[in-house]
Structure 1
Amino acid sequence: MERTRHRNRLVAALAAAVLAATGLVAAASTAEASDAELAVNGGFEAGLTGWTCTANSGTAVTTPVQSGTGALKATPAGSDNAKCSQTVTVQPNSAYTLSGWVQGGYTYLGVSGTGTTDGYTWTPSASSWQKLTTGFRTGASTTSVTIYTHGWYGTPAYHADNISLLGPGGGPVEIPAAPTGLTAGSPSSTSVPLNWNPVPGATQYHVYRGTTRVDSVTGTSATVTGLTPSTGYTFQVTAANTAGESPKSASVTATTTSGGGTGGGLPRHALVGYLHSSFANGSGYTRMADVPDSWDVINLAFGEPTSVTSGDIRFSLCPVAQCPNVESTADFKAAIKAKQAAGKKVLISIGGQNGQVQLASTGARDAFVTSVSKIIDEYGLNGLDIDFEGHSLSLNTGDTDFRAPTTPVVVNLIQAIKTLKAKYGPDFILTMAPETFFVQLGYQFYGSGPWGGQDPRAGSYLPVIHALRDDLTLLHVQHYNSGPIMGLDNQFHTMGSADFHIAMADMMLTGFPVAGNQSRIFPPLRADQLAIGLPASTHAAGGHTSPAEVNKAIDCLTKKTNCGSYTTHGTWPALRGLMTWSINWDRFNQWEFSRNFDAYPWS
């Protein structure tokens, strides 16, 4: 959330990474006479047989070719790097040489799953056919590897021909058997953990809820999330490799618990707003007692750290010198109690534009828990809002799987919030207000390096949201101060329009594949966990949306009427409502935002 009148982050204007031109990686070994050619259809003489290309990005062409009559042409898009791959059986503890000829824009040739150090080589451009070569050694238990070639996001098409993998051969890849031993662990109100036995030859497992595939994993466990409380579900699992997918396992059933752990007490459709309690800006100071009854959740902005890495959070009312009409602390606390007596919820919001928080150590984590608890207890608050922005998660460079975070600032934040949730119990309200850059851009640029995108912070909220989804009362992504963002329709949508809000909400309610691994699906949130975050006026933030466009977005998401160019993947009448930055700016704008919310004909 911003404090000044004008601040636009051009976060979506992500340029292609500037990669240093280096020499090609030399082969680790020279092929022996006894080595076999293991790549299938490496010359693409049989079309794309044996190869799988992401997003239908590859095609077999007859010109240009390095030799023979066929070659691969693959065209990257803004959210796809045109990766074409195949999995090959190999021998453990053996040396291999991977090579291929490429032409065109950025082109990578590499291998993964070696059990040792995966390798790749690349060229930034090749006006004529150029050979790439790299070598690797397999691990003690490695029986298959995946070889691949890919380009770079949004760059010109590349061509590849005569892809070769030389080394000791393995047996033919066969479709694995169906998994056995599928069991369900203890369900929560919205999730069910599953486990099963490993299947020889399987490189991936697909999880089904009924007839719908809901997850794909490489291990032998998964947790299905986004479920409805007090509901029975049936699950099955299949095993897969490059030869195909096995039959489904025997089914297992589980019933979710009754829930109640995500901070109940909110109305079916709620209005959430931030109250500038600790600082002043052009919107003017608004006393707690003067907040209209329209607001169901009032987030106190902000609790801020004593330093970026201390974890020690402090909150105090705006100084009289800045806010001449500020109430006394006693009156402020009394007004909070009056709001709560009327059924309203009051939370402390941590962070904001200037309040950078990085819990990089366990000491900072514990200080965060202690200091936030002190604020909650002193003011008698109902819960916590996490409004980490900018560089608060900037150290997230190692988490390439949102399901298994390892970066300290992410892990410690998750642990701290879970500790607070456990301390205050099921009525504790937890909300989050991340920027689109840290959520939706995970669809395009999740992770770090050439596999995930140009900025490792893109999508860095995903591990936090996923780990806390069973504790989360509301997620209200900031649909403002953003550049164009790509939706699930692979089209860019611009803030301020109904289509932008529809596309961003649909992504969170439908689930979406993360960049770098299109089989890794970020599971959807429940509709009652989602509110749309909007600026209250043109002064509040970039991307103000007129009341008419706001109503169109709500119509489309909750009733599937009045939709624009974007086609949603469902209808969600339980959508919780709207969030705005801010109550102060809404007052400055003659309460246009809250009056429109009150007048809307919610079903």
Structure 2
Amino acid sequence: MRRALSLLSAAALAAAAFLASGPPAAAADADLVRNGGFESGLDGWNCSAGSGAVVSAPVHGGGSALRATPAGQDNARCSQTVTVKPDSAYTLTAWVQGAYVYLGASGTGTTDVSTWTQTPGAWKQLTTGFRTGPATTTVTVYTHGWYGQPAHLTDDVTLVGPDPGGPGQPQPPAAPTGLTATATSPGTVALTWTASAGAASYTVRRDGAAPLTVTTPSATVTGLAPATPYTFRVSAVNAAGESPLSAPATVTTPPGGGDPGGPALPAHALVGYLHTSFANGSGYLRMADVPASWDVIDLAFGEPTSATSGDIRFQLCPVSECPGVETPAEFKAAVQAKRAAGKKVLISIGGQNGQVQLTTTAARDAFVSSVSKIIDEYGLDGVDIDFEGHSLSLATGDTDFRNPTTPAIVNLIAALKTLKARYGPGFVLTMAPETFFVQLGYQYYGSGPWGGQDPRAGAYLPVIHALRDDLTLLHVQDYNSGPITGLDGQYHSMGGADFHTAMTDMLLTGFPVAGDTSRVFPPLRPDQVAIGLPATPNAGNGHTPPAEVDKALDCLTKRVNCGTYQPHGTWPGLRGLMTWSVNWDRFGGWEFSRNFDAYFG
């Protein structure tokens, strides 16, 4: 009886202590989303295919909101990975505006959740909840729109639940410190910074270019333009998320040549195709009569004896078709006179009617042999690749541009590398693909899950990438093209400054291929890029008036006179312009070349 009383007294004392102090402390609920109001731009958020941007109006709260635009097969998904506590309940909310706007969480360890609104109009609050699994330490929260729908808005995203803080819980690393940038050549910058504790990798960002991921606290950035300022920032990443950005580091690259192998082009070059093997409504023009404005002259065309032979032949236009055509001896003398004056004369292979498919190693070897004979006979500086239509028709097996397997592409790359090695560093290599084969790779590439899309879309990407160190100039044909989605998620159509700005910005910024951020096509150097346009309305669909051409050049090289499209950088080293063709420019009173000369002096 005495012992029982003693136990009862102890229990009473314990109860009194509990009532006085309350239950044991539990983790307090907190909002775990970083920058949920988008007041710090897109810091903490990743948006697919460059679909997201921060706007100042309309907003739900604060001074900013997220505007995301679906395009093509991309649904404008913006996401953030958040550290959570296992076996805990969380509530996810956001305010949205637009039709078919989704809010959800994945990787919960239990049941992933989402909710959505299908009516446009005023701001609406979306709310959903979930419980984390017993071993779940991170979840991904996201918002996205729907295919073919207009842009939507998201603001004030919150994830409220137990704060996972405390020892043993994963946390994003701190922002890197001590970032330094050193220009080691006209086209290269070396970066170093102090390692962040707990970082698994680092993300390097530069002036809107595609991010670069490295695993050590240093990076080498290549493909830059000479005499150009660049600003870099770095963040640290681990399984719990991404740190804030480091303080910026700015460096200016030294002046110097950027041409692969030093082909000695002027800082701004004018490229034109010369109709040498055929006649059309523009009339024949003798090589000796090509004005000095033209820095690179592409002889159109070397054509195959059959689509798959690889055997390329070139001949001057017959007298019956081209009255006034020079003799072969006169033509060769005129070529050498142009070269003596510092011009580059190339054999352009393919064209609209010249289908070249190097589907076998025999065709590859025949290509190298026959092209070499043309270069040697006429004393040329190099090769222009103008494969169109079905020349890359078998490019259906490649799903990664970095590792092509399609024979027609593999053999073309090998052939061009052989020619480069044969003729040495002065060999000029240019390419003139259509937008379908390059920029459309931003939406579609390979034979992946993109429905009935032509699998050749973006098929030039592995060729350009494999030869980027040998490539003198890429001048994509910004004409005879349908609307193309830019990095802003909007469609752009031919004939105006925005189209050329958007298409060129993709080449100079880089872009995720088919919306896959693990396959980012790296940017080219500005000195490797020229804008391709028709010289007159007669020369092709998409003729652009000179005033619009100048606006595009202003926007890309000076960041002024930009239209609705805002590029991700400023590139004063942009090489210049290409046109189809010298003959059509003469037909149009030399308007195209005169405008180029006036703009670049």
Q: TM range, normalised to the smaller chain?
A: 0.5 to 0.7
**Are the aligned partners of 1:216 and 1:521 in contact in 2 as well (CA < 8 Å)?**
no
Matched residue, 2:600: 602
Matched residue, 1:407: 406
CA distance in 2, matches of 1:423, 1:191: 27
SS of 1:395's equivalent in the other structure is coil
CA distance in 2, matches of 1:333, 1:421: 22
- Higher deviation after alignment, 461-470 or 433-442: 461-470
How far does the alpha carbon of each residue in 1:368-398 deviate from its partner, in whole angstroms, 9 at most, with x for none?
Answer: 1111111101100011111111122222223
Matched residue, 1:434: 433
Structure 2 residue 560 is matched with structure 1 residue 567: no
- Alpha-carbon offset, residue 565 of structure 1: 2.3
CA distance in 1, matches of 2:209, 2:265: 32
Matched residue, 1:340: 339
How far does the alpha carbon of each residue in 1:524-576 deviate from its partner, in whole angstroms, 9 at most, with x for none?
Answer: 22222111111111111001111222222222222333332222223222222
- Give matches, 1:134-533, under 5 Å: 153-154=147-148, 190=187, 206-207=203-204, 214-215=210-211, 224-228=221-225, 240=237, 243-244=241-242, 261-450=260-449, 454-533=453-532
- Alpha-carbon offset, residue 303 of structure 1: 0.7
Matched residue, 2:129: none
Unaligned segments of structure 2, at least 5 residues = 1-43, 54-66, 83-98, 108-137, 152-167, 177-183, 192-197
Letter in 2 for 1:419: T
**Are the aligned partners of 1:451 and 1:516 in contact in 2 as well (CA < 8 Å)?**
no
CA distance in 1, matches of 2:557, 2:233: 31
Unaligned segments of structure 1, at least 5 residues = 1-49, 58-73, 89-103, 113-143, 158-170, 180-186, 195-200
CA distance in 1, matches of 2:572, 2:233: 29
SS of 2:274's equivalent in the other structure is strand
Letter in 2 for 1:392: S
- Alpha-carbon offset, residue 298 of structure 1: 0.6
**Are the aligned partners of 2:224 and 2:526 in contact in 1 as well (CA < 8 Å)?**
no
How far does the alpha carbon of each residue in 1:194-218 deviate from its partner, in whole angstroms, 9 at most, with x for none?
Answer: 9xxxxxx999874567x98854569
How far does the alpha carbon of each residue in 1:218-257 deviate from its partner, in whole angstroms, 9 at most, with x for none?
Answer: 9999985423479999999988566557999xx9x9x999
Letter in 2 for 1:77: P
CA distance in 1, matches of 2:317, 2:242: 63
Structure 2 residue 71 is matched with structure 1 residue 78: yes
**Are the aligned partners of 1:445 and 1:452 in contact in 2 as well (CA < 8 Å)?**
no
CA distance in 2, matches of 1:267, 1:490: 34
With over 3 angstroms needed to count, the CA separation of the structure-2 counterparts of 1:515 and 1:575, relative to structure 1, is same
SS of 2:390's equivalent in the other structure is coil
SS of 1:557's equivalent in the other structure is helix
- Alpha-carbon offset, residue 581 of structure 1: 0.2
SS of 1:392's equivalent in the other structure is helix
Looking at CA atoms only, which structure, 1 or 2, has the larger radius of gyration? 2
CA distance in 1, matches of 2:346, 2:504: 23
Letter in 1 for 2:557: T
SS of 1:445's equivalent in the other structure is coil
TM superposition score normalised by structure 1: 0.66
Structure 2 residue 581 is matched with structure 1 residue 582: yes
- Give matches, 1:45-124, under 5 Å: 54=48, 55=51, 77-79=70-72, 80-81=74-75
Matched residue, 1:545: 544
Matched residue, 2:25: none
How far does the alpha carbon of each residue in 1:159-186 deviate from its partner, in whole angstroms, 9 at most, with x for none?
Answer: xxxxxxxxxxxx998879999xxxxxxx
CA distance in 1, matches of 2:267, 2:448: 42
How many equivalent residue pairs?
A: 507
How far does the alpha carbon of each residue in 1:491-511 deviate from its partner, in whole angstroms, 9 at most, with x for none?
Answer: 222211122112222222222
- Alpha-carbon offset, residue 601 of structure 1: 3.5
CA distance in 2, matches of 1:445, 1:359: 23
**Are the aligned partners of 1:76 and 1:154 in contact in 2 as well (CA < 8 Å)?**
no
**Are the aligned partners of 1:302 and 1:350 in contact in 2 as well (CA < 8 Å)?**
yes
CA RMSD of aligned residues (A): 5.6
With over 3 angstroms needed to count, the CA separation of the structure-2 counterparts of 1:237 and 1:448, relative to structure 1, is farther
- Alpha-carbon offset, residue 434 of structure 1: 0.8
CA distance in 1, matches of 2:462, 2:297: 26
- Alpha-carbon offset, residue 403 of structure 1: 2.4
